[in-house]
Amino acid sequence: MTILHRVAAAGLAFAVTLTLAPPARAASALPVVDGCRPGTLPTGPLREAIGGLPDADATSAQVRVITPAGCWTGSSGVRDLRSQAPVPPHARFRVGSVTKVFTAAVVLQLAAEDRIELDDTVQQLLPGLLPAGYPAVTVRQLLNHTSGLPSASPPDEGIDWQLAHRYDRWSPEQLVRLGLRNPREFEPGSRQRYTNAGYIVAGMLIEKVTGHSYAQEIQRRIARPLGLHETYAPGDDPRIRGPHAHGYQAVVRDGRTELVDATVWSQTFTPAAGNLISSLADLDSFMTALFAGRVVPAAQLPEMFTLPAVHDVSGGPARYSAGLTAYPLPAGEILWIKTGSRYGYLAAVAATRDGRFRVEYSITGTDAKGEELSRTAERVIGAALGLL
């Protein structure tokens, strides 16, 4: 089960059953935190959702919610288990697959500049990357997960192997070759399956077309123009620069569970697909600008809100656009979301198409890559959806 399906199941259940707390005090009686003015936003459920950390599920949480009624930013838990210091202001974190929203935006910018066409093929733009005779794979298919390209799997999925190889460095070319050892998922354009493979290749396209590194293009095209001072691609650096909360992974050894610090970890296994570092404020600024048409030009922006006319490999409807995911709400509205997970870190962004409702969170979950969604994330999702 993907993290999206875990989020959807938890979120829809909460959306139906959540009872809201009474309205909070008037805005004049509440402090303004990180530029957020509460207004009449009932913050009780949000505070309760992240209360009591650290616990066995998570060591910290940061949440930002914006609605027409007001805005709230809060944090709970500790920066690290050794010092027990609180989460620092503007703490940075690994955003995981939220990276894909940034990557899709850059590719669509290049399309707007006529430097690529969305119907161009990988074979045209990156000759020799795919085997001879491989079916044509278009740029659009890379972005909306209909390419059929198989993803690379690490030699061992076990946590002990992962920890032992956390500093390994992988090149995008290595990852593509490793993925191509697996069978093709389906004929390009015929189905949809969420993978990292298309975005790893999209990152390679960005570098080939621009002549600059992926990290440089993220800074030049998105972070610098929007003033995102806490957002960057780490490249080969396994650390998180600047203030941040440590992430931990629960590991069972000799029948006992211990938490291993997973903060310092190479992200080269997910280049352009899951490697970015950011903050709540930066993610909110990015989502606000993106949905308002200030990142991707008007002619290309609909790609981010258009689902391909195919079925998912499970037989259900397509749910993934270029960079985002359609999350239907009970009232018929669509929430456009993106979740991400790296060892030690869970992250998500979500917004209605008009941008009036936005949510961002980072949770240092102790089993961020596990099959079950973090209980802390479930509570945050439920509290946030209750404000729609």
Which residue in the list 97, 279, 321, 341 is annotated as catalytic? 97
Tokens coding 198? 């298309």
What is the C-alpha separation between 327 and 7, in angstroms, rounded? 9
pLDDT of residue 33: 60
Angle between helical axes of 3-17 and 375-385 (0-180°, round to 10) = 50
- The residue whose two tokens read 């008037």 is 26
Per-residue pLDDT band at 388 (split at 50, 70, 90) = confident
pLDDT tens for 29-40 read 334 566 678 888
Residues 6 or more apart whose Cβ sits within 8 Å of residue 287: 101, 349, 351, 355, 358, 360
Residue 2 has pLDDT above 60, yes or no: no
Strands (E), 200-319: 248-253, 256-261, 277-278, 311-312
Residue 245 has pLDDT above 50, yes or no: yes
pLDDT of residue 6: 52
What is the C-alpha separation between 77 and 69, in angstroms, rounded? 27
- Please report the domains of the chain, with CATH numbers, ordered by start residue: 3-385 (3.40.710.10)
pLDDT of residue 18: 32
Per-residue pLDDT band at 28 (split at 50, 70, 90) = very low
Residue 313 has pLDDT above 50, yes or no: yes
Per-residue pLDDT band at 1 (split at 50, 70, 90) = very low
Decide: 93 and 244 in contact? Cβ < 8 Å.
Answer: yes
The mean of the pLDDT values for the chain is 91
pLDDT tens for 140-189 read 999 999 999 999 988 888 899 999 999 999 999 999 999 999 999 899 99
pLDDT tens for 51-92 read 999 999 999 999 999 999 999 999 999 999 999 999 999 999
What is the C-alpha separation between 63 and 284, in angstroms, rounded? 11
pLDDT tens for 361-379 read 999 999 999 988 999 999 9
Rounded to two decimals, what is the model's pTM? 0.92
pLDDT of residue 27: 29
251 strand-pairing partners: 258
The residue among 43 and 14 whose pLDDT is bigger is: 43
Residue 237 has pLDDT above 90, yes or no: yes
97 catalytic, yes or no? Answer: yes
